[in-house]
Amino acid sequence: MVRKAYDAFSAGDMEALGKMMKPDMVHSVPGNNPLSGEHKGQDAAFAMYGRLFELTDGTFEADLQDVTAKGDDRVVAKHRSTATRGDKKLDVTTTLDFTVEGEKIARIDESTSDQAAENAFWS
């Protein structure tokens, strides 16, 4: 399911992605930048995903590198996040810790290999 969610995200297919998520899901983004915080509900999460592409003129990419199941209700995925924004460049490893309930994504907790670089890029 997580691999399919990445495929849907990369294709901009929010309808398919939404079918894999609980309506009240939460995507938590660390740091101190405009994308940081608890994005509660699909609409809020999708708005944040839209900002990823808007702020980077569509250059944001999440290249999936690894997916590991952690029991029945957790999946950890790592991807390489790359993007450009004006003269700024982003190239970090991002980890998404998915909590699954009833075969749907209930929560995504994000972390990054370089929070300072993320804050500088998105701010």
pTM, to two decimals:
0.94
pLDDT in tens, 29-82: 999 999 999 999 999 999 999 999 999 999 999 999 999 999 889 999 999 999
Q: Is residue 95 helix, strand or coil? A: strand
- Determine the CATH number of domain 2-122: 3.10.450.50
In DSSP notation, 38-56 reads: EEESHHHHHHHHHHHHHHT
- 123 Cβ partners below 8 Å, 6+ apart? 32, 33, 34
pLDDT, tens digit, for every residue of 48-62? Answer: 999 999 999 999 999
> Where in the chain are the domains?
2-122
**8 A C-beta contact, residue 70 and residue 58:** no
